[in-house]
Amino acid sequence: MRYIRELERKIPVCAEYDAAVVGGGIAGIAAAAAAARNGVKACIIEKQFALGGLATLGNVAIYLPICDGCGNQIVKGLGEELLRLSVSDGYSKIPACWEKGGNGRNRSRKRFTVTFNPPSFMLALEPLVLDSGADIMYDTRFCGVKKRGSAITHLIIENKDGRSAVACKTVVDASGDADVCAAAEEETVSLNTNVASGWFFSLDNKKPTLHVMSESYDPSGKTVPGGKRGFSGVNAKDVTEQVLAARRMFRERVHTLPLNIPAIPGLRMTRRLKGLTELQEKDEGRIFRNSVGMTGDWRKAGPVYCIPLTALAAVRTPNLVTAGRCISSDSAWDITRAIPACAVTGEAAGTAAALLCLSGNKSFASLDIKLLQAMLKKQNVPVDKKL
Ligand SMILES: Cc1cc2nc3c(=O)[nH]c(=O)nc-3n(C[C@H](O)[C@H](O)[C@H](O)COP(=O)(O)OP(=O)(O)OC[C@H]3O[C@@H](n4cnc5c(N)ncnc54)[C@H](O)[C@@H]3O)c2cc1C
């Protein structure tokens, strides 16, 4: 590799926030809305021109279950609010048994899940964020951090105005790829076993049809089935090659009229934080004293996972917390990356960021966990198994 030296330059501080959220996917939306609803100044820094991330721009049109498959609702708060919003256009219905007054006995047979129309969900997400009081900065890519000691004081961003800095008290890394963690020199873990995948709609017999296209993937993340090339998604070459492989797959397998194709790569698990707790599949049913939310397992009925604050909080950077698919989740990653779990960790991270600012505390690690749990419960978020 050859190098050149970039000249040091003075850049303007364009804005100041209590909670700066990098990434406007489901996790970032929940984080920013939760922070703003708790009274702090929050913003979303998003490199695309829309909210929703994989859920909308990636055409991932299924809001996986917010129940445990045994008749108990596990995800409430913003996780449920976003599910309801996703079908507020009437595209599909919430299963009748899960509606108020619905037949409770049927809830163990029918999971609380919906299929949604990505463009209308995308349109509905902006008012949710703006009404919470949070700001949105589109076409803005996070590209670095400035620290004082170990804490982040500014996020370096680039957009049409050039390069500038956002002053911030706390940061939520909801980039999906742990971009802030990597820039802040947190320890991270990457999987290079992503496969060619991407969902899209086509016009079949004059009807929009969803094509769920993916090479098969290994939920343990250890291998690439069929000995094919795996993609990490955290370097330019891999991202480009995964996108090209997915497009080749669409061309080869679909011979009808494409209505839309994903605008962003269908990468499941790229890079994540290595936190003090790395959530494992065997943590099913484990009660964490510092739990900030729960999720069920979309793949089977029964398992319930508590998600501890130590799986979200950065280790070396006191004012940095993660949310969504880049939290510290090891063998449980295929569970915590689902949309409902991303909403749960987003709401937890945003609420924790608000508490950090309001309490004048300096680190997520030293937050009063009982106070945080009380705030979350007030937001109707179950944090432990007393459902
Ligand atoms: C093929 C596929 C199928 C799936 N199927 C389902 C399913 O059926 N149901 C389900 O519930 N889940 C499914 N998932 C998982 C789920 O969609 C995602 O894990 C979840 O939506 C991730 O949300 P997130 O907010 O953590 O991240 P993302 O949706 O990835 O959002 C991250 C956001 O951050 C932005 N960003 C990234 N880097 C930067 C930067 N440097 N600066 C500024 N902005 C940045 C991105 O543009 C993006 O908007 C699927 C995933 C894939 C890939």
User: pLDDT tens digits, residue range 112-161?
Assistant: 999 999 999 999 999 999 999 999 999 999 999 999 999 999 999 999 99
Q: Which fold has domain 13-188+271-378?
A: FAD/NAD(P)-binding domain (3.50.50)
Ligand 1 centroid to Cα of residue 54, in Å, is 4
- Per domain, the residue ranges of the chain are 13-188+271-378, 197-260
Which residues form ligand 1's pocket by a CB distance below 6 Å? 22-28, 45-48, 53-55, 60, 62-64, 141-142, 174-177, 179, 197, 214, 266-268, 324-325, 337-339, 342
Ligand 1: which residue has its CA nearest to atom 34? Answer: 23
Q: How confident is the model at residue 207 (pLDDT cuts 50, 70, 90)?
A: confident
The three-state DSSP-derived secondary structure of 49-86 is CCCEHHHCCCCCCEECCCECCCCCECCCHHHHHHHHHH
Distances from the Cα of 7 to the Cαs of 4, 10, 386, in angstroms? Answer: 10, 10, 57
Arithmetic mean of pLDDT, 14-35? 98
pLDDT of 34 strictly over 60: yes
Atom of ligand 1 nearest to the CA of 339: 11
pLDDT over 90 at 254, yes or no: no
Choose the residue to mutate in 175, 199, 247, 347 for probing ligand 1, maximizing ligand atoms within 8 Å of C-beta.
175
Atom 6, ligand 1: which residue's CA is nearest?
A: 60
Atom of ligand 1 nearest to the CA of 345: 26
What is the Cα–Cα distance from 348 to 141, expressed in whole angstroms? 24
In the predicted structure, residue 320 carries a pLDDT above the cut 80: yes
Q: What is the pLDDT of residue 386?
A: 62
Residue 387 above 90 pLDDT? no
Tokens representing 337 are 């990356």
The residue whose two tokens read 């105005």 is 161
- Mean of per-residue pLDDT scores for the chain: 96
How many angstroms separate the alpha carbon of residue 29 from the centre of ligand 1?
12
CA distance 229 to 226: 9
Question: In ligand 1, which atom is closest to the CA atom of 140?
Answer: 43
